[in-house]
Amino acid sequence: MIDMNFLRENADKVKDNISNKNASADVDNILELDKKRRELIVEVETLKSERNSASKEIAQLKKNKENADAIIGNMKEVSKSISELDSELREIEAKMNEELLKVPNMCHDSVPIGKSEKDNITVREWGKKSDSKTGLNHIEIAEKLGIIDFKRGAKVTGSGFAFLTGKGAKLERALINFFLDSHEDSGYTEIFSPFVVNEDSMRGTGQLPKMAEDMYHAGEDNVYLIPTAEVPLTNFHRNDMIDMEELPKKFCGYSACFRREAGSYGKEVRGFLRVHQFNKVELVKFSKPEESEEELESLTNNAEELLKQLGLSYRVLLLCTGDTSFASSKTYDLEVWSSGEEAWLEVSSCSNFGDFQARRANIRFKRKEDLKPEFVHTLNGSGLATPRIMVSLIENNFDGERIVIPEVLRKYTGFDFID
């Protein structure tokens, strides 16, 4: 959530940011509600002060055995007014909070202004783009080798779901274990989280209310299937005061992820390119504000290192304002080259959220015991999501007869080829 003091002092800047992010929020309405809220607070406090003074006067009159009926009658009216104003104040604060939740995070000054992914900037590339050796895509190869069954996934659940079978299932598990082990070696603490969270958790990381239509919601229990382990891992510290000596604090965690992909119309959705359930290892950091940009760079490098070890050609994009998510301040996307698709496929988004999520989730730290608490900065990134990694590995490493398993995965798979 954006800092209200910042919004008051920088209303035009906030409006520009909303426009640059292709978002929608009514800053003027928020400011009007805020003005009314502050006026009500002054009015309520004035009446409460008057009531306190009158209570002392009534006590003195009664002590002196004098009549206090007139003052008591007047104070009943004052108390009634206070009650009515308190009710109005709660209503205005609720409306104001509802509108504030619609305001996106401010983009970092280094983020380029742009309207769409066409305006993103390529920061660096690694490796050489390979050409398809066979002209086959991952669906055709997977069916030929019997490692992914899209038809049965659609039969059992629906479109956007699949079965991984045999060596395909083992390759998926190998990727997850490789990712987790690598991140643990880089200083992340592994956490295995729930795959279901409550409404407060989804609101804390910014999925609600903005992306409600994209979530799987179990209405009877009012819980959500997680779209990413970012949600439970970040909310692990909701309402906590983290010891400053622990910062930066680094978590990694595997989870299944569930997304309705309500906004995927017009995008490539076949095969593993866009699915409703997938596996991902998530990286989450809690940082001091002045260190978060440096922590974003190191988090991104942690994800890149996995791609290098897998031998996958990739590029790093700095997203423009229009392609930066609602809650993010700055985001790098990692895309791998897939020869069968002849396209770059996003496999990770690494983001700095500043104090935006921490304000929502109330995650703080103290520099010294006698100083006021500050909000931490939160960061996260995919390290990595498996579906498009699988697509790239299948297409790039298929020689016409078999898929060659990257050397780094062989101790996890127990085999060198899928044929």
Q: Determine the straight-line distance between the first and last CA of the chain, rounded to whole angstroms.
A: 51
Question: What is the pTM assigned to this prediction?
Answer: 0.93
Q: Is 281 exposed, middle or buried (0-12, 13-18, 19+ CB in 10 A)?
A: buried
Task: Assign 190 to helix, strand or coil.
Answer: strand
- Give the three-state DSSP class for 8: helix
What does the pLDDT look like over 257-311, one tens digit per residue?
999 976 544 455 667 888 999 999 999 999 999 999 999 999 999 999 999 999 9
* CATH 3.40.50.410, domain 4-100, yes or no: no
For residue range 171-217, list pLDDT tens digits in order. Answer: 999 999 999 999 999 999 999 999 999 999 999 999 999 899 999 99
Kind of pairing, strands 374-375 and 377-385? unpaired
Dist CA 126 CA 334 (whole Å): 11
Percent of the chain with pLDDT over 90: 87
Among the listed residues 4, 27, 21, 13, the one whose alpha carbon sits nearest the alpha carbon of residue 328: 21
Q: Give the sign of the dihedral formed by CA 280, CA 399, CA 168, CA 311.
A: negative
- Residue pair 369/315 in contact by the 8 Å Cβ criterion: no
CATH homologous superfamily of 117-418: Bira Bifunctional Protein; Domain 2 (3.30.930.10)
Q: Encode pLDDT of 17-70 as tens digits.
A: 999 999 999 999 999 999 999 999 999 999 999 888 888 888 888 888 888 888
Domain ranges of the chain: 4-100, 117-418
